[in-house]
Amino acid sequence: MGKTVSDKKRHGCLLAYLIFLLIANATGGLLFLTTEHPFGFTIWSWKAFGVLHLIQLISISAVFRWKKWGFWFFAICTCTYGSIHLFSKAGTSFNFVIGLIGIFIFFGVLHIGGEKKGWSQLD
């Protein structure tokens, strides 16, 4: 039988990273949705960035609740964000690569911590 939620323990690095992701995505979402789009970006791509940041809050919250789908949802949103950025006139492949690195860092943080390893505790 799997562990109950009260039996699961999160290591400090994972907790810190999840809090960082929550703050970064909430801030990014609000900035994209409340500011004018800069030259080179279409209004729809700029607003899509904001919506994707806010949707990522759902995925990060799911990981907080020990749901593995939250990580995969995060990865899909990050790839979508990078793809929109890559194919926009102002985008660069650098932004897409940074997103991929972020996914790998998240995956890595979920795999450290011994008994408190996050990945093995996700449902």
Q: Per residue, what are the HEC states of 53-99?
A: HHHHHHHHHHHHCCCHHHHHHHHHHHHHHHHHHHHCCCCCHHHHHHH
Q: What is the pLDDT of residues 38-77, one digit of tens each?
A: 777 888 888 999 999 999 999 999 999 999 999 999 999 9
Q: In terms of pTM, does the model score above 0.85? A: yes
- Write down the pLDDT at residue 59: 97
